Structure 1
Amino acid sequence: MARTSTMSTRLAGGVVGALVVVEGTSGVLQGYYTPLLTDIARHLGIHDADVNWFEAAQLLLSAIVVPVLARLGDMIGHRKVLIGSLVVTAVASWALAFAPSFPLFVLAWAIQGFYVVWLPLNVAIIHSRARDREDGAALTRRGAGIIVAALQAGAIIGALAAGQLGGILPLWAALCVPAALVTVALAVVILKVPDTGVRAGGTIDTKGTVVLTLGLLALTGGLSLVRLDGFTPWVAAMVLAGLALMWVFVRVERGTDQPLVDIALLTRPTVWPVILTATLFGVSVLGAQGPLSTFARTDPDEVGYGLGLTSATVSYLIGAYVVSLLVGALLFARLSARFSPRAVLIAASFLVAGGYLALIPFHGSVATVVTCMVVAGLGSGALVAALPAAAASAAPPHQTAMATGLTNTTKTIGGAFASTAFAIALVSGASTAATAGESTAGTLSGYMTVWAICGGTALVAGACLFAVPKVAFQHNVDVVEAETGAAR
C-alpha cells in the first residue's frame, strides 16, 4: 500500500504536474481571447459577425488534425507529438499578435487549434505511465481530473486576465501573453515530461486521412455556410457529400491493416457508448455557451424575456458555470473511486440534462439561471474529465491516444452541428419588442429549443452509457473482462 501511495505521489507531482501547465495554458487559450474579440474586430477592420469565422476555421482544422496526430502519437510517441503540437501552437499564437490582415489572422487562429490534441495526448501519457500498476485506471482518472481542472482554471484566469490587460496594454502586447505561456509550456514538456517508451509502430494511413479530411471539410464547411445563407441546396449537397465520404472512410478503414481509426475499436462495448456520449456532449459544452451569453444580455424591457445583464455582470454568470465545471472535474476521480466510473458518467449526463431542461420553465431570474447552469456545469466538468480517461482505459495500450483523440474529434463535430442548429433556432420566428418594433434578439422559442436539444442529447447519452458493462473503466483487465460478458 505504501509503495502504491508513493507511486501515486510521484505520478501526480511529476508528470501530471508538468501536464497541468500544458492544460492550464490550453484553458488560457480558450478563455483569453473572448473579452478581446471586439477589440480584435476593430483592429482588423471587420464586422463583429465576422469573428464567427475564427471559431469555424479552428473547429474545422481541429476536427481534422486530432485523429491524425493522435494516431501519430500512438505510432512514434505521445511526447514527441505533444512537443510538435506545442511548437505549432506557439508559432501560431505569436503570429496572432502581429498578423496585419484578416485572412492571416484567421489562418493563424485556425492553426492555433492544434492545442485541441493536448488533452488526449496528455491523458495517453498519464495512462502509459500508470497502466502497469495495480491501480493504473484509478491513477489515470485522478490525473485526468487534475489536468482538466487546470484547464478550467486556466479558462477562468485567461478571461479575467484579458479583461484587465486589454484595458492597459496595446492589443498586440495583450495578444503576446498567451503566446508567451505556450512557449513556457513547451519548455516544461521538454524538460519535465519523459518519453513513456510506448510505441505502436506502423505508418499513417494516407488514403484514410485524405478521405476523412475531405469528409470533415464537406460536413463542417457545409454547416458553416448555413450561418451565412441559411440551409440552401448547396449546403445540403455538401453535407450529403460529407456523409457519403464518411461512409467511404469506414469502408477504407475496415480494409486497411494499419488504419487511422480502428473501426473494430469503435465497435467495442466499452468504447462506442463513450464516443457517442462525447458527440452528444459536444452539443451542449461547445454549442450552448453563446446562446447562454446572448440570452443573459437580452433586455427583458425590450422583448419580454432575458436577464438584461451588462457585459461586466454576465461574466459572473459565465464564471459560475466555469467554476462548476472545475468542481465537477475535481470530484470525478473521488466519486469514481467510491462508486464506479460508469455510474459517475451516467449521473453526470443526467446532471447536464437536468440543468438544461430546467431552464425551460426557470429562466426568469438570474438566480434560477445560475442554479441551472451550475447543475449542468457540475455534470459537464465530470464528463470533460471522464470521457478521455474512460476511452483510455477501454482501449488497448497502443491505441490510447487514438481512443482519447476520438472523444475530442466527435465532441467537436457535435459542437459544429449544434452551433448551426442553434443559429437557425434563434432566428426562427419573429422577435419583437413590446413596442412591436423589430429586435435583433434571438427568439424565446429558439432559446427553449436550444435548452431542449442540450437536455435531450444529454439524456440520450446517459441512456447509451447503460450499455457499457458495469465493470468497465475500473482496471486495465476490465477491457477484456467487459467484452467477454462481464456485465451483470
Structure 2
Amino acid sequence: MSSDRAATSGGGSLRTVTFSLVGFLFLVELTSGILQGYYVPLASKIAAHLGVDTADYNWTEAAQLLLSALVVPVLAKLGDMFGHKRILLVSTAVTALASWGMAASGGFAGYLVAFALQGFYVVWLPLEVALIFDRGRRSGTGASMTRRAAGFLVVALEAGAIIGALAGSRVFKATGENFPITLAVPAICVTLVFFAILFGVPESTPLPGRRLDGRGFVLLTLALLFITGGLTFLRLNGPASWTVWVPIAIGLLIFVPFARLERRHPDPAIDLRVLGQSRMWPVQLTAGLFGISVLGAQIPLSTFAAADPAKLGYGLKLDPDVISYLIGAYLVSLIVGALLFPVLARRTTPRVALIVAAFFVAGGYLLFIPLHEQVWQVVANMVIAGIGSGALVAALPSAAAAAAPVGQSGIATGLTNTTKTVGGAFASAVFGVILHVGLTSTASTSGAGLAAYIAVWTICGVGALVAAVLLFLVPKLAFSDVEVQSLPAEGLDGRPVD
C-alpha cells in the first residue's frame, strides 16, 4: 500500500506514516543544526584562510540572514502551491550546492556568495511543519500531532548544533587543517539528506488552481530588503546616519501599496484577512519579539562572560572552553523546552503553553538585571530563558500552521521565520550600537559598560513580556484539535471547500 493510501486508511496507518515522516525529517533538522554549529568555532581560521579579518567575515552571517528573510516567504508559498516536499527538495539542493561551493571557494567573494545561498536551509523547518500538519489534518489531530513532531524536530536541530560545534574544530585538526576536506563534511551531510527527503518523505496535497502573486512578492521582498538593509547600516554607521532611517522609511512605505494589492488579489502572497485574525497576528508578532532574544542576545552573553571584572567592573572572566559549556547548557535547555511544550499544551491548552513559554523567556533575561555576578546565576538565567525559547521555537510554526486555513500552512509557518529574522536583525543592530557606546565610553569601568549589558537584557526581557501579554488576546481554544476542526476550509474564492 502506498504512503498516500496508508495516510487515508485510518488513524493507525496515519500515525505510522507520520512517525516515518518525522523520522526522516529528524535527519533534515539534525543536518540543519550541524550547519548552524559547524562553522562557528572555525570562523577565525576560515577568515585567515580567506585573507580577511573577523570584522569582514561577519558579513557572511549578515548576508545569509538577509537572504533568508527574503526567500523564506516565497519558498513557503511555493510549497503551498506545488507541494511542500518538492520545495523542500529544491531548497536542499541549493543548500548542498552552496555547501560544496564553500568547500571549493578560494577567495572571500566566492565564499560569501556560497555562504549566503546556504541560507536556503532556513525554510526547512517551516516546510517540515507544514508537511506534518497536512498529513495530520486528515485524522482530526493535526494540531496536537504537529506540536509533538515540532518538539522532536527542535531536539534534532539543537542536537545537530551541538554536534556541529564539537565536530568542526576536531575535523579541522584531524585533517591536518585542510580546509577543503573540513568544509566538505557539512556538504556531504546535506547531500545525503537530499536523498533521505527524496525517498523517505511523502508529498503534501496542495490545492489546485493556485498561481503565484509575483507583484506581491516583489513588493514584499523590496520592503524587507530596505528594512533589513537599514538595520545593517544602523550597526555600521550608527543611528545618526541618514543611510539608516531613509531605507527603513522606504521599506515601511512599500507596505502601503503591498497591502492594497493583497486585498484585491484572489491568491495573495500573504492573505491579510488571515494575518489579521486574533489567532494569527499575535503569533506572528510574538515571533518577531522572540527573534530579539533568540537571535540577538547570544553574542552579548558570550562577550559578557569573557569580560574581566577586575579591569571592567563586570563580567565572569571565563575562557572560551568554559563559555562553550555555558552555550551547551543553553542548548540543552532549548531541547528540554521543546519536549515540555507539547506536554504542557496537552495538560492545559496550546495558548496557555505559549504564554508560559514567553514568560520563561522574559523571566530568564530580566533576572540578569539583579543576578549576573556569579557563574551559577548566569547559567540559571540562561537555562530559564532557554526552556522558554526551546518551547517557542517548536510552538510558533506549529501554532501558525494550526491557525491557517487549508492551503496556507506553509506561508503561515514561513512568516514566523521571517518575522523572527527581522526581529533578530533589529536586535543585532541595536545591541551593537548600545554595546559600542557603552564599552568604548571612558566611564565604562564605572558603570557604562555594565549599563549597556543591562539595557540589552532589559530589551530582551521586555520584548518577551510584551509577547506574553499579546498572547492573552488569542482565543482560549486556539491551535487545539477542536478549534482546528471547527475552522472553515476556504478555497481561493473564499467559499468553503471539502
- Tell me the TM-score range normalised by the shorter chain: over 0.9
**Aligned residue in 2 for 1:194:** 202
> Any idea what the Cα deviations from partners look like across 1:181-222, whole Å, max 9, x if unmatched?
101110100010111223354211111111111111111111
Aligned pairs for 1:157-168 within 5 A: 157-168=163-174
Out of 131, 134, 149, which is 1:125 matched to?
131
Letter in 1 for 2:33: G
Residue type of the alignment partner of 1:186: F
From 18, 21, 28, the equivalent of 1:15 is 21
Superposed, 1:115-264 pairs within 5 Å as 115-169=121-175, 170-231=178-239, 232-264=241-273
Asked if 1:398 is matched to 2:404, the reply is no
Letter of the 2:149 partner, please give it: G
Residue identity matched to 2:312: V
Say which SS state the counterpart of residue 397 (structure 1) adopts: coil
Residue-by-residue CA offset, 1:297-355 (whole Å, 9 max, x unaligned): 11112211111111111000000001100111011112211111110000000000000
Aligned length: 477
Q: For 2:384, what is the secondary structure of its paired residue?
A: helix
Return the letter of the residue paired with 1:391: A
1:320 matched residue in structure 2: 329
Q: Distance in 2 between matches of 1:465 and 1:53?
A: 35
Pair 1:201–1:414, CA change in 2 (3 A): farther
Matched, 1:103 2:109: yes
Alpha-carbon deviations, 1:352-408, whole Å to 9, x = none?
A: 000000001111011100000000000000000000110111111210001100100
How much does 1:251 deviate?
2.1
Mapped partners of 1:251, 1:289: distance in 2: 38
**Residue aligning to 1:423:** 432
Q: Which residue of 2 aligns with 1:382?
A: 391
Quote the sequence identity (%).
52
Contact 1:270 1:482 in 2 (8 A): no
Q: Which amino acid aligns with 1:222?
A: G
2:493 paired residue number: none
Equivalent residue number for residue 357 of structure 1: 366
- Residue range with higher mean Cα deviation, 284-293 or 5-14: 5-14
Normalised TM-score (structure 2): 0.92
Query: How far 1:59 sits from its partner (Å)?
Result: 1.1
Q: Which residue type is aligned with residue 451 of structure 2?
A: S
Task: Report the secondary structure of 1:190's partner residue.
Answer: helix
Larger mean Cα displacement after TM superposition, 384-393 or 198-207: 198-207
- Determine if the alignment matches structure 1 residue 293 to structure 2 residue 302: yes
SS in 1 for 2:140: coil
Which moved further from structure 2: 382-391 or 213-222? 213-222
Task: Provide the residue aligned with 1:340 in structure 2.
Answer: 349
Please provide the CA RMSD for this pair: 2.0
Q: 1:311 matched to which residue of 2?
A: 320
- Mapped to 2, the partners of 1:98 and 1:302 lie a distance apart of 44
Which residue in the other structure is 2:81 paired with? 75
Given residue 284 of structure 2, which amino acid in structure 1 is its aligned partner?
I
Name the CA distance, whole Å, in 2 between partners of 1:117 and 1:320.
Answer: 26
Inter-partner Cα distance in structure 2 for 1:220 and 1:151: 25
Residue 462 (str. 1) matches residue 468 (str. 2): yes
Following TM superposition, by how much is the alpha carbon of 1:292 offset from its aligned partner in structure 2, in angstroms? 0.8
Q: How far apart, in 1, do the equivalents of 2:452 and 2:488 lie?
A: 42
Residue 306 of structure 1 aligns to a residue whose secondary structure is: coil
2:6 aligned partner = none
Change (3 A) 1:482 1:209: closer
2:51 pairs with 1:45:
yes
User: Which amino acid is the alignment partner of residue 230 of structure 1?
Assistant: G
- CA 1:476–1:191 in structure 2 vs 1: closer, same or farther (change >3 Å)? farther
Q: For residues 387 and 438 of structure 1, what CA distance do their matches in structure 2 show? A: 39
Which of 465, 469, 480 is the equivalent residue of 1:474? 480
Give the 3 Å change call, closer, same or farther, for CA 318–382 of structure 1 in structure 2: same
Is the CA contact (8 Å cut-off) linking 2:357 and 2:392 kept in structure 1?
yes
Partner of 2:3: none
Cα 1:454/1:8, change in 2 over 3 Å: farther
* Superposition misfits of 4+ residues, deviation over 3 angstroms: 3-9, 429-432, 436-439, 476-483
> How far apart are the structure 1 equivalents of 2:110 and 2:45?
17
CA deviation string 1:117-143 (max 9, x = no partner): 000100000001110113222111111
Structure 1 unmatched runs, 5+:
484-488
CA distance in 1, matches of 2:291, 2:410: 19
Name the structure 2 match of 1:486.
none
Local SS of the residue matching 1:14: helix
Corresponding residue for residue 65 of structure 1: 71
- The 8 Å contact of residues 64 and 115 in structure 2, kept in 1 or not, is answered as yes
Taking the aligned partners of 1:283 and 1:408, their CA distance within structure 2 comes to: 13
The residue number in structure 2 matching 1:93 is: 99
Q: Give the letter for the 2:223 counterpart.
A: G
CA contact (8 A) 1:69 1:81 kept: yes
Gaps of 5+ in 2: 1-8, 490-498
Against the structure 1 CA distance between its residues 139 and 11, is the aligned structure 2 distance closer, same or farther, given a 3 Å change threshold? farther
Q: Deviations over 1:404-437 (max 9, x none)?
A: 00100100011001100100111124557xxx79
Q: Give yes or no for contact 2:235–2:430 (8 Å, CA) kept in 1.
A: no
The one-letter code of the counterpart of 2:218 is V
